[in-house]
Amino acid sequence: MPPEGGYIIKAIFTGMRISELRGLTWDNVDFQSKVIRVDQRADEYCEIGAPKSRAGVRSIPMAPTVSKISVAWKDQAPDSSIGLVFPNSVGKVQNYSNIYNRVFKPMLVDNGIVDDQGQSKFGIHALRHAAASLFIEQGWNPMEIQTLQTPRRHSKQSLAIPLKAEISRYSP
């Protein structure tokens, strides 16, 4: 599987930020416990550092699909001196704009998810909202997701408002 699929699948099935996926290292992917530990991210300059907030440090359960693609990708991934899961071809942190322009935007265009001018309708962050919708569809209690928000934690409540609106659509 190419790394493109891994980015999209992990983002949708974990709710991880793209910066967290860019900074994810193999030592934080626990195949035994089927958990991904988030304790760092790659910033806009491709520097590895702490997550966006203290709330960003967390453990996320791996769905079977995520575990399966992670095992397959580990054997194919380019070498990285710091153990990145999704390094670029020379083992360094992937640049955000490369992921957007080479992976995400073409996927949207290929699937007709564009406006009248051919521009993509969504940014990569929409994958976190897709994750919340999938969690709800799988029967997770909407209030549990709202308080759980561990995989989608927002340190500022104003950023969580769209998520709360999304959750309320599914609430009884």
Whether the pLDDT of residue 118 is over 60: the answer is yes
> Model-level pTM?
0.78
In the prediction, which pLDDT does 141 show? 65
- Rounded to whole angstroms, how far apart are CA atoms 128 and 143? 17
Q: Which CATH superfamily is domain 3-170 in?
A: Intergrase catalytic core (1.10.443.10)
Between 170 and 74, whose confidence is greater? Answer: 74
pLDDT in tens, 1-47: 555 678 888 988 888 999 999 999 999 999 999 999 999 999 999 99
- What pLDDT does residue 149 have? 47
Task: Decide: 103 and 109 in contact? Cβ < 8 Å.
Answer: no
The CA distance from 93 to 106, in Å, is 21
Q: What is the pLDDT of residue 49?
A: 96
Work out the percent of the chain whose per-residue pLDDT is above 90: 38
Q: What is the C-alpha separation between 16 and 107, in angstroms, rounded? A: 19
Pick the more confident residue, 137 or 146: 137
- pLDDT at residue 84 greater than cutoff 80: yes
- What's the pLDDT tens digit per position in 45-68? 999 999 978 878 888 888 899 999
Q: What is the dihedral of CA 112, 114, 117, 123, to 10 degrees?
A: -150
- Name the residue type at position 106: P
Q: Give the residue extent of every domain in the chain.
A: 3-170
The pair phi, psi for residue 78, each rounded to 5°, is: -60, 150
Inter-axis angle of helices 64-76 and 3-14, nearest 10:
150
* 106-112-117-118 Cα dihedral, nearest 10 degrees: 10
The least confident of 25-34, 92-101, 104-113, 161-170 is 161-170
Q: How does pLDDT run across 142-169, given as a tens digit for each residue?
A: 655 554 444 444 444 444 444 444 444 4
Entry field: residues in the chain: 172
Q: Which residues pair with 48 in a beta bridge?
A: 42
Q: With contact defined as beta carbons under 8 Å apart, do 60 and 15 qualify? A: yes
Q: Rounded to an integer, what distance in angstroms lies between the CA atom of residue 46 and that of residue 49?
A: 9
Give the Cα separation of 13 and 151 in Å (integer): 10
What is the model's pLDDT at position 124? 87
